[in-house]
Structure 1
Amino acid sequence: MPNGPDNKLHDLKWNLEEFATKDPFDVSRANKIADNIKKYTSHLIQFVLKILESPTDILGSRLVVKLSDHWTGSSLLRQTSDGTNIVPLMQWECLEEVESWPSEYRPLAVTVVRSTACLNFESGETQQPVLSVKSVRVLALSARPFGDNDVPHRLVTRTIYQVVQSLETQQYPPELIIARPGSIESLDRELGSHPTGYFDIVHLDVHGEADEDSATLLFLENAEPTNVKRVEAYQLGKVLRNHGVRCVIMNACQSAALVHNFTRSLVQEGIPMVLGMQYKLLETAAEILTTTLYEGLLARNQSLPDACAYARSKLRAIPSRRTNYNTTVRVLDYMNPVLFMAERFEEPDLREIGNAPQVAANAFEVEQGLLGRESVMLDMENDFLTFSNLGFLTGIAGSGKSALAAHLSWWWKATGLICGTLHIDFASFGSLEWKDIVQLFCDEVRQLKIDHQDVNSEEKLLQHLQHYRYLVLFDSIDALGSVAPIQLLDSIIKFSKTLKKRYKKSKVGSLILFVSRDEQNRLRADTAAQVFPLQGLVRFLG
């Protein structure tokens, strides 16, 4: 099928990218494509069996198929990890469907790895890229520049986080750090703040583009969600190589396209192992892929090639994908993720180490009240980190303002953006004076025990909030008009402007978020806080 005429390639692309999103009712066409994939898999297996010297020897064995950019002429496949190279055709990952192999030759497992020459690599460096012996360290970056028309910007990072959290009781729990905002400069800065080679995996949850002329990844520029910076492989490769990165995972659409393959180019730039996507990746598939890939890497202690094969097996086993009509269709997209590695490295050991704990298939369930809020969360995060530490979250009653603010507080604390939240809900209080709020915040700071200093005054509170990054949350600020004197509003404005001035000068310190049904004209005007309006929900997470 995929090695036939161009219309066959078009059919495959349609099945993976457009069936669920544009034409979910064209089931007849999808079924024909599924039959063609099955036939293609059988033909490919027969081709492999013909070039094997002793095909019966692979029965019950682990077979590694290593594919090179170069045709060697010998065209041999061998068991375990010493397979020589054969010409790379499309969709070799179909070989991993062991159920399609004839029973008399059926291997225990098949792992497909594509290799390419490493053209930009420091001489003398020959060690195999492996994960840490103890705690595996992951650096993730998410850049989704197209708002609600893109993959939700936390779909991948929150799934990795949930897998990491499920393993926190291990002797050597994995570590996740998120680079914010989603710019190439943030990636460079976060990598540079740790020793060279500190991270075992760099995961780039970004948008990819490939055409007849080039392949690029889209990062945020100036942290503006709608401004993009197109980065080519040589640019990204230089940043990663300078910091000793040896393993990259990209769920970027078309990052491993047939023409202008960004994934292969990144390996050629000196990154030993890179995982990319041949086609656009559906949201449902992205969550399954991320969960099972990190379950393999972190919970099962698998090598990246073995974890990739494990993740593809889960995509085959769970082919149901949600459509834009809130229905489901069957999509065979398990061959979408492909792994490239540098030719000079020996094949990794594919054995599983120990009996690691299992991770739930659905690692994270999205709160119903947060559906459709990903773009607002991305706007808030980027604007807070780049432009101003004051923000205003507005919306009609029942729009989910407080729920979103509470979720942001949890997510930012869980992923290390803030060290804690100082929260007051004015709808829950009667009369209040500013000194009462200061005392409440001081008490909350002492309970968090961030440092040993006694925070017992407004000035010490300001100094503490300047030194550490908290989220200071003024909820239901619209209730002030009926329950508080004007002096309280003046004090809040003065406090906020002081913290903003110090933040602007040092670019460190706490964030302030006001939550209100309306924009509170005087408060917004005096503090120049950014406004983040909550609109009605417009989409489902698919």
Structure 2
Amino acid sequence: MDLFRITVAQTPSGADKPSGSCHLKVQHGSIGTMSEITADAVQELLQMNKSIKWYMEEFVIHLPFQEPRAQEVSASLARYAALLIEALRLDLGAPDRNTLHIVIQVVEEAVILPDDCIEIGALRWEVLQNVHLWPGEAKPASVSVVRLLGVPARQVPVVSADRPESASTFNILALTARPRSVDDVPHRLITKSIYDVVDTANTKVDACGGSTAERRTTLTIVRPGSLDALKRELNKKQRYDVVHLDLHGKVEDHKAYALFINEIQRGAHMVPAEDLASLLSSHGIHTVILNACQSAVEGEGPAANLAKALIQHGIQIAIAMAYKVLDVTANLFVCSLYDQLLRFNQSPLLAVQAARQCLMNKRTKRTSYLTEVPLDDYLVPSV
């Protein structure tokens, strides 16, 4: 695979820089340059952010008969992509783009910004993963977007690391929590989907006669969906490659919480993201998948984003959802993601890319009004 990494980071605004614009440092391999999203473009992107949120959360769930407006939002994604591509300054360092597999690393550092400046993390860089939105002369073979936190930011590996000799199994720990009064994806849907993919992967291994080149997969389901049950399972000292948390996130006082079940009252038990991250990382967990609605929502800072809060407190890779998610979207994404992880031994980054492509290929979604509408829900997952 011919990889080309582009790293984008925000720089502080100085007195000599235009007010309201977004100033960037862009790195193409060993070539670095400064770039800018103008104040007018920033305002245009902010307005499109509002439209995209309506498109993802209101249109398909509550207002599916407003399809003309939705089509306008979908068409505007090309303009959104054009503004971001211009800021990447690809003319300086990306030769033969038609054969390149581009990885865009968006570094979200703690930079002091004026009130009228947009944070780089608030931009929907995931739009660029639809290569059909790129101009013909610049269209790459594929694009992956990954958000990096911290200084120095850890790179997310593109290809799978070599497996240790002792890793004869790929181990998944899954927990589903649906406290009373919390409305989200049906609690058995995701667990059943993961089980089906695991069963298919293991059937393939068995058909190959248990070859050492193939790994069997184990799936451990935590019941009930409480923090104490999770602790009990982790204390058994089993190695887990992925922890899948099918639970809801909540923001309160600009802090992110994960909603587990209170075992006694069956209501919600709010667990601070930093406490959850500390628990998981202390047991050697590096990769966490969160499929609940708005588990990577932007707008109130990293501490209010459940996925980012986990990264800030020790988790290496968090795959989450930036918007409310349809049942069918969650199911398609999870099935494709685990299929890539288990049957094709892809890295989490490439598995997410393939799962996004699955969503792009199956844009038509059925609404609660029994209508079918096209939806660009590849924007929902975030890494």
TM-score (norm 1): 0.54
The Cα offsets for residues 251-304 of structure 1, whole Å up to 9 and x where unpaired, read as 122111112211111111111111111111111100011011111111111100
Q: Is the CA contact (8 Å cut-off) linking 1:256 and 1:264 kept in structure 2?
A: yes
Amino acid at match of 1:140: A
Name 2:218's counterpart in structure 1. 175
Mapped to 1, the partners of 2:42 and 2:331 lie a distance apart of 26
Q: Is the 8 A contact 1:3 1:89 kept in 2?
A: no
3-state SS of 1:56 partner = coil
Q: 1:267-286 maps to which residues of 2 (within 5 A)? A: 267-286=311-330
Residue matched to 1:301: 345
On the 8 A contact 1:140/1:205 being kept in 2, the answer is yes
Q: Does 1:214 align with 2:214?
A: no
Opposite residue 226 of structure 2, the aligned amino acid is S
Matched, 1:202 2:235: no
* 8 Å CA contact 1:210, 1:255 repeated in 2: no
Return closer, same or farther for 1:166/1:28 CA change in 2, 3 Å cut-off.
same
Shift of 1:202: 0.1
Out of 67, 76, 79, the residue aligned to residue 36 of structure 1 is: 76
Task: Confirm or deny: 8 A CA contact 2:160 2:347 kept in the other structure.
Answer: no
Flag the 1:300–1:94 CA change in 2: closer, same or farther, 3 A: same
For residue 97 of structure 1, the aligned residue among 119, 130, 134 is: 130
Distance in 2, matches of 1:234 and 1:240, equals 10
> How far did residue 140 of structure 1 move?
0.3
1:331-370 aligned within 5 A: 331-339=375-383
- 1:472 alignment counterpart: none
Is 1:243 the equivalent of 2:283?
yes
- Residue 60 of structure 1 pairs with residue 99 of structure 2: yes
Q: Unpaired runs of 5+ in structure 2?
A: 1-40, 112-118
Matched-pair contact (CA < 8 Å) for 2:105–2:145: yes
Match of 1:138, SS state, is strand
Distance 1:107 1:10, change over 3 A: closer
Q: Percent identity?
A: 34
> What letter corresponds to residue 192 of structure 1 in structure 2?
N
Unpaired stretches in structure 1, ≥5 consecutive residues: 73-85, 122-127, 340-542
Cα displacement (A) at 1:177 = 0.7
8 Å CA contact 2:333, 2:356 repeated in 1: yes
Aligned residues: 315
One-letter code aligned to 1:62: H
Q: How big is each residue's C-alpha offset from its partner over 1:470-501, in whole Å with a ceiling of 9 and x where there is no partner?
A: xxxxxxxxxxxxxxxxxxxxxxxxxxxxxxxx
- The question of 1:4 aligning with 2:37 is answered no
Distance in 1 separating the partners of 2:151 and 2:160:
14
Counterpart residue identity of residue 127, structure 2: C
- Of residues 55, 60, 67 in structure 2, which corresponds to 1:15? 55
What secondary structure sits across from 2:169 in the alignment?
coil
Cα 1:38/1:102, change in 2 over 3 Å: closer
Distance 1:328 1:2, change over 3 A: farther
Partner of 2:247, secondary structure, is strand
Over 3 Å counting, the alpha-carbon distance change for 1:210 and 1:279 in structure 2 is farther
Q: Distance in 2 between matches of 1:3 and 1:130?
A: 41
* 1:43–1:7 Cα change, 3 Å: closer
Note closer, same or farther for the CA distance 1:140–1:323 as it changes in structure 2 (3 Å cut).
same
The answer on 1:266 being equivalent to 2:310 is yes
Question: 1:117 pairs with 150, 172, 175, which one?
Answer: 150
1:165 to 199, 204, 210: 199
Give the CA deviation at 1:186: 0.9
* Partner in structure 2 of residue 482 of structure 1: none
After superposition, what is the alpha-carbon deviation per residue over 1:51-105, rounded to whole angstroms, capped at 9, x for unaligned?
4523333330211111111399xxxxxxxxxxxxx95451111111122223333
Kindly indicate whether the alpha-carbon contact (under 8 Å) linking 2:169 and 2:217 is maintained by their aligned counterparts in 1.
yes
State the one-letter code of the partner of 1:299.
Answer: R
**Which of 144, 165, 174 does residue 140 from structure 1 map onto?**
174
Secondary structure of the 2:61 match is coil
Pair 1:332–1:255, CA change in 2 (3 A): same
The answer to whether the 8 A contact 2:340-2:346 is kept is yes
Partner Cα distance (2:375, 2:253) in 1: 26
Task: Give the conservation status (yes or no) of the 8 Å contact 1:252–1:277.
Answer: yes
Q: Note closer, same or farther for the CA distance 1:108–1:4 as it changes in structure 2 (3 Å cut).
A: same
Give CA deviations for 1:206-227 in whole Å, capped at 9, x if unaligned. 01223662222211001654x0
Q: Determine the structure 2 residue equivalent to 1:190.
A: 233
Change beyond 3 A, Cα 1:28–1:138: same
Normalized per residue, which structure has more strand? 2
Contact kept in structure 2, 1:118 and 1:270, CA below 8 Å: no
Q: Cα 1:63–1:223, aligned 2, differ >3 Å: closer, same or farther?
A: farther
TM-aligned CA distance change 1:147 to 1:12, over 3 Å: same
Q: Match of 2:99, as an amino acid?
A: G
Q: Is the 8 A contact 1:55 1:105 kept in 2?
A: no
- The separation in 2 between residues aligned to 1:219 and 1:110, in whole angstroms, is 35
After superposition, the CA RMSD in angstroms is 2.7
Task: Report the CA distance between 1:45 and its aligned residue.
Answer: 2.4
Q: Deviations over 1:231-268 (max 9, x none)?
A: 11111012101211111000122111112211111111
Q: What is the distance in 1 between the residues matched to 2:97 and 2:365?
A: 34
**1:287 partnered with 2:331:** yes
- Tell whether the 8 Å contact from 1:56 to 1:104 is kept in structure 2 after alignment: no
